[in-house]
């Protein structure tokens, strides 16, 4: 039986990706896509890749009942409108940061507080590789932040296997594409200002530190660079295990965690041009590439991961989480390969 879905914030970048994924998903039919600015216009008038769809934007104030509502709106919108969302749908999947952290105190610390702290206990942090067991039956799902997702997917096997136990300090550096800033990204993401840059962005105090620390219980130093790509988040994580670890040990650790995961592949050395995780190789897909190297002289392990911020880092992860929550095949609607060769994605 087909499930109905609506996308609130469908004129934005991640909202457009949700409509793209859901419109060819075997279990979903998109019945509503909202935008205040483009209400009554076709979805294809904003997203040219979706011109074939017979779907028009409607106002978010006129939500129709659906099985699943995906919210792809700026921070603060979902927490303000969550009652209306939940009235309209049995399952709400939110792509913003509004329901990712576990307590009001954390929102006081990292954001500007929270309107509906009672719901924070109820919401499930989506990243399905880590929270698969909690998703079935959930009615409020928070998709993880894109940079946090890149780091967490890369580091999780080290914590699961006890290579890291949470007492260590983890350093995360992420290179991010301009689509992270959304459709209204502003001057910093405009083509003349963004082209060719490798620009430190949020070098300290990035809010995604909170998500990574919540997963692993360790302290995280996070910095990001805005670089000249459209899609992609590439994380380089530096960790210093207490005990020496070899590369073959790490292969065992990562295989154990990921060999059955449909959306994670290991890329660590080998031959050819693409020997480590690379955003170009996952552009447009829900895949994450993860790799590593050992630096014995400095007692360091360096972990690389690459995702498409609008897929594994948001819309793809949201659809994957909904698939798990509703008992669908996990790959439904996400089972396709990326492009090669491709220009700066
Ligand atoms: N871009 C990424 O790579 C990425 C990755 C992970 C998570 N996220 C998160 O996902 C969310 C969406 O990001 P995005 O990049 O897709 O943003 P975006 O391109 O700026 O799109 C925002 C969408 O929300 C709608 N909107 C804005 N204010 C609204 C309101 N008060 N009520 C209803 N709709 C409203 C906008 O349309 P109208 O103004 O026309 O209604 C638009 O469709 C954000 O919370 C972001 O942090 C983004």
Please give the distance, rounded to the nearest whole angstrom, from the Cα atom of residue 297 to the centre of ligand 1: 45
Q: Which atom of ligand 1 is nearest to the CA of 183?
A: 19
**For the chain, give me the number of helices (H) and strands (E)?**
10, 14
Q: What is the pLDDT of residue 343?
A: 80
CATH topology for 3-122 is Rossmann fold (3.40.50)
Q: Dihedral sign for Cα 308, 85, 331, 214, please.
A: positive
List pocket residues of ligand 1, CB cut-off 6 Å. Answer: 8-15, 35-38, 60, 72-75, 77, 95-96, 145-146, 179-180, 182-184, 309-310, 313-314
Residue 218 annotated to the active site: no
Concatenated DSSP letters of 69-132: EEE---TTHHHHHHHHHHHHEEEEEE-SSTTTSS-HHHHHHHSS--S-GGGGTT-EE--HHHHG
Helix 247-258 with 146-160: angle, nearest 10 deg: 110
Q: Which CATH superfamily is domain 146-307 in?
A: Dihydrodipicolinate Reductase; domain 2 (3.30.360.10)
Residues of the chain with CATH 3.30.360.10: 146-307
pTM, rounded to two decimals: 0.98
Q: How much is the pLDDT for 274?
A: 92
- For ligand 1, the distance from its centroid to the CA atom of residue 122, given in whole angstroms, is 23
Task: Give CA angle at 60 (41, 185), nearest 5°.
Answer: 75
The C-alpha atoms of residue 303 and residue 135 are separated, in whole angstroms, by 27
Pocket test for ligand 1, best of 14, 80, 127, 232 (most atoms within 8 A of CB): 14
What confidence tens digit (pLDDT) does each residue in 216-270 have?
A: 999 999 999 999 999 999 999 999 999 999 999 999 999 999 999 999 999 998 8
Q: Chain-centre distance of CA 172, in angstroms?
A: 16
Residues in the chain with pLDDT values less than 50: none
At 200 the three-state DSSP class reads strand
Q: CATH 3.40.50.720 in the chain: give the residue spans.
A: 3-122
Instruction: State which H helix or E strand residue 20 sits in.
Output: helix 13-23
Residue 9 Cα, ligand 1 centroid: separation in angstroms?
A: 5
């Amino acid at each position: 039986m087909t499930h109905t879905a609506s996308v609130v914030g469908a004129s934005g970048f991640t909202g457009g990706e949700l409509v793209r994924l859901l419109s060819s998903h075997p279990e979903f039919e998109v019945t509503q896509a909202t935008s205040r600015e483009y209400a009554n216009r076709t979805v294809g008038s904003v997203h040219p890749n979706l011109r074939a769809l017979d779907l028009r934007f409607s106002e978010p104030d006129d939500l129709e009942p659906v099985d699943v509502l995906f919210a792809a709106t700026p921070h603060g919108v979902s927490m303000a409108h969550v009652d209306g969302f939940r009235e309209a749908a049995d399952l709400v999947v939110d792509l913003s940061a509004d329901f990712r952290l576990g307590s009001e105190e954390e929102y006081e610390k990292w954001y500007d507080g929270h309107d509906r702290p009672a719901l924070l206990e109820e919401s499930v942090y989506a990243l399905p590789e880590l929270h698969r067991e909690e998703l079935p039956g959930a009615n409020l799902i928070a998709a993880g932040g894109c940079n946090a997702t890149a780091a967490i997917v890369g580091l999780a096997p080290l914590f699961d296997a006890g290579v890291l136990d949470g007492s260590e300090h983890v350093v995360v550096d992420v290179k991010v594409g301009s689509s992270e800033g959304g459709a209204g990204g502003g001057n910093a993401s405009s083509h003349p200002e963004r082209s060719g840059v490798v620009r430190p962005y949020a070098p300290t105090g990035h809010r995604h530190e909170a998500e990574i620390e919540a997963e692993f219980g360790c302290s995280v130093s996070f910095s990001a660079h805005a670089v000249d790509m459209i899609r992609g988040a590439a994380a380089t994580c530096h960790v210093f295990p207490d005990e020496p670890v070899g590369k073959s040990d790490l292969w065992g650790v990562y295989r154990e965690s990921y060999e059955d995961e449909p959306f994670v592949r290991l890329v660590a050395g080998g031959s050819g041009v693409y020997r480590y995780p690379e955003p170009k190789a996952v552009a447009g897909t829900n895949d994450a590439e993860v790799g590593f190297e050992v630096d014995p002289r400095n007692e360091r392990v360096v972990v690389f991961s690459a995702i498409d911020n609008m897929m594994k880092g948001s819309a793809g992860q949201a659809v994957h989480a909904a698939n798990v929550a509703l008992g669908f095949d996990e790959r439904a609607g996400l089972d396709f390969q990326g492009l090669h060769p491709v220009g700066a994605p």
